[in-house]
Chain A
Amino acid sequence: KAGVTQTPRYLIKTRGQQVTLSCSPISGHRSVSWYQQTPGQGLQFLFEYFSETQRNKGNFPGRFSGRQFSNSRSEMNVSTLELGDSALYLCASSLVGQLNTEAFFGQGTRLTVV
């Protein structure tokens, strides 16, 4: 079966702009989680969506938002980009949630803010 697909793979944006990242989970998976990975902070949880509802949220400012569609595809939006938002953004899908089952990660979107 197809894996988790994240688009785009690479993105360069300017400070102050906004960006939307997309994640298509594995077919049949209803949970999608987003993570930010940076050399300094490591892997940090952004939020989790399940059946179009945000089920959990990490400690990120309101500039970071997301949504999930009825087909379980998810988007993540970052507004008013800052240099510190440069990171690898990873999305993970799981059947009902990654707390008790394995999560499958996409290859990530590498965002560079200049």
Chain B
Amino acid sequence: SQQGEEDPQALSIQEGENATMNCSYKTSINNLQWYRQNSGRGLVHLILIRSNEREKHSGRLRVTLDTSKKSSSLLITASRAADTASYFCAGSARQLTFGSGTQLTVLP
């Protein structure tokens, strides 16, 4: 079973716009991680936010975590065509459990 559910399942935006993806999870976690996957390839770690953190930044990425609502969001600012990929959240408890992913398409 999957820990998280991403919303939306698919998102299409123009280059330069911001992209926001949301993730909800079911059980208590130690931390929440976001990964990116280009079509059919391996996952690339983007950012890790611990359960006692509320917000974290890394370059054009901003992640928030609300443990009371069991939800997280990933914001990509000033998107580029190269950001086109699937994005997954993964809750970390005894193991990493991935959500279903958001397919982001950035149109040039």
Q: Which residues of A are in contact with B by a Cβ distance under 8 Å?
A: 4, 33, 35, 42-45, 48, 56, 58-59, 88, 90, 92, 98-108, 110
Contacts and interface: CB of A to CB of B under 8 A. Distances in A.
B96 A98 contact: yes
Contacts of A43: 2, 88, 90, 98
Interface of B: 1-2, 30-31, 33, 35, 40-45, 48, 88, 90, 92-101
Contacts of A58: 95
B42 A42 contact: no
A99 B42 contact: no
Contacts of B92: 98-100
Contacts of B96: 33, 45, 98-99, 103
A96 B87 CA distance: 24
